[in-house]
Amino acid sequence: MAFITSAPSGQSEKAAPAAGARGKKLGFQASQALAKQKAYEKSAIKYKLPLGELAVFTQQLSSLLNAGLPLVQCLEALQDQTEDPVFRIVIRDVRMDISSGNSFSSAVKKFPRSFNSLFTSMVEAGEASGALAEILSKVAIYFESTVKLTKKVKSAMTYPIAVIGLAVALVNVLLIFVIPVFASMFADFGSKLPAPTQMLIDLSDFLKANFFYILVVAGAAYWGFKKFISTPRGRRLWHVGLMRAPIFGGLIHKIALSRFCRTYATLMRSGVPILRTLEIVSAASDKVQIEDACIEVAKHVSQGGQVSEILAINPFFPPMMKHMVKAGESTGNVDGMMNKIADFYDMESDATVASLTSLIEPLLIVFLGVVVGGIVMAMFLPIFKLGAVAGGLE
């Protein structure tokens, strides 16, 4: 005879609410995960993929293709290993699009902010030539060199921007909080203060009374400036001004020339037609001077001319570059010459960044010394003359 034991009624009554609470918690977590997934899928079409991540993706895809894996399987592997949840959805959609019978180039074109025009054009060239893995490897190298150069420029700019920002914050703290304490002390003297001290106190009073309005005006000026440079005329004036900047203009010019040559050489070596190459180079340059030159070159080439003939009459391009491109055209090695020019300007950019870094450091020290030291001297000047000021002799 079998005996059936059952849990006490009190334990079962306690277990039921606990199970219900766990169920509610799991349901809430599942709904949260679903909401996140929907948000990721909604933002995937407009997702802006950083160039560094695109370079890693391109290099990994090239390596997997070289290993002999099918494209769909390569994308599946990259989808599983990527840590970016939005980009994972982008890869998934591209993979599903290819599985349904579409080409890789048409699939990535649906995500223009994740895959730029250079990437899509190179994929088209790779599909047409049957050398997709080799061409993707070239694109990855190009992306990596671009990211490396950008990081060098940003690292060179980080130090002066941080120091200038700290100096501005320090000066504002002195003017708004410290100088009023000295001003109240000097007011007890009942005598005229030295001109530098009085000017500093007046500036402090002005900042304290109008600090909010100054912030509003500064924000409005920044917004107006951004709106202005987004217009065709403002963008042109801004780019021309950047090239003529006294310290950083030469560096910006060299980087623009390097990007122009590197992009042109990479596209031409991969078999992209020259008119399409010029279109992509124009879009990738983000400089009106190169955009204008690409339009003129495209017109000239479509009429049977050569690239060097337009570069020779455009003052944006230095004479050395014009002669090297002409030599490349005569030997049938324009892309090789463009790569050499890009290497030269990359080295020039590195040297310029190093020299600017060594030049900016003493300039910043002098700047901080003059500004902060001038404020300190102006505030202690009455104390140095305390006897004369307090005695009312001045």
| pLDDT tens digit sequence for 376-392 | 888 888 777 665 544 44
Model pLDDT, residue 156: 73
Higher pLDDT, 346 or 5: 346
- Has residue 349 got a pLDDT over 80? yes
Within 13 Å, how many C-alpha atoms sit on residue 228's CB side?
A: 10
- Has residue 31 got a pLDDT over 80? no
Burial of 265 (0-12, 13-18, 19+ CB in 10 A): buried
Over residues 160-188, the mean pLDDT reads 82
pTM for this one? Answer: 0.72
Q: How confident is the model at residue 1 (pLDDT cuts 50, 70, 90)?
A: very low
- Has residue 61 got a pLDDT over 60? yes
- Has residue 109 got a pLDDT over 80? yes
Model pLDDT, residue 2: 47
Sequence ranges of the domains in the chain: 51-115, 145-394
Model pLDDT, residue 217: 93
Gap between the Cα atoms of 334 and 269, Å rounded? 9
- Has residue 70 got a pLDDT over 50? yes
Q: Which amino acid is at 328?
A: G
Nearest to 247 by CA among 158, 355, 151: 355
- Has residue 20 got a pLDDT over 70? no
Gap between the Cα atoms of 328 and 332, Å rounded? 6
Biggest alpha carbon–alpha carbon distance for the chain: 120
Model pLDDT, residue 237: 92
Gap between the Cα atoms of 387 and 94, Å rounded? 82
Over residues 35-58, the mean pLDDT reads 81
Q: How confident is the model at residue 189 (pLDDT cuts 50, 70, 90)?
A: low
Higher pLDDT, 276 or 7: 276
- Has residue 153 got a pLDDT over 80? no
Query: 51-115 and 145-394 share one CATH topology?
Result: yes
Torsion of CA 326, 331, 335, 338, to 10 degrees: -40
**Which CATH architecture describes the domain 145-394?**
Up-down Bundle (1.20)
Calculate ∠ Cα 227-228-233, nearest 5°: 135
- What is the average pLDDT value for the chain, to the nearest integer? 82
* Whether the Cβ atoms of residue 105 and residue 92 lie closer than 8 Å to each other: no
At the top level of CATH, which class does the domain 51-115 belong to?
mainly alpha
Cβ partners under 8 Å of residue 71, min gap 6: 65, 98, 104, 132
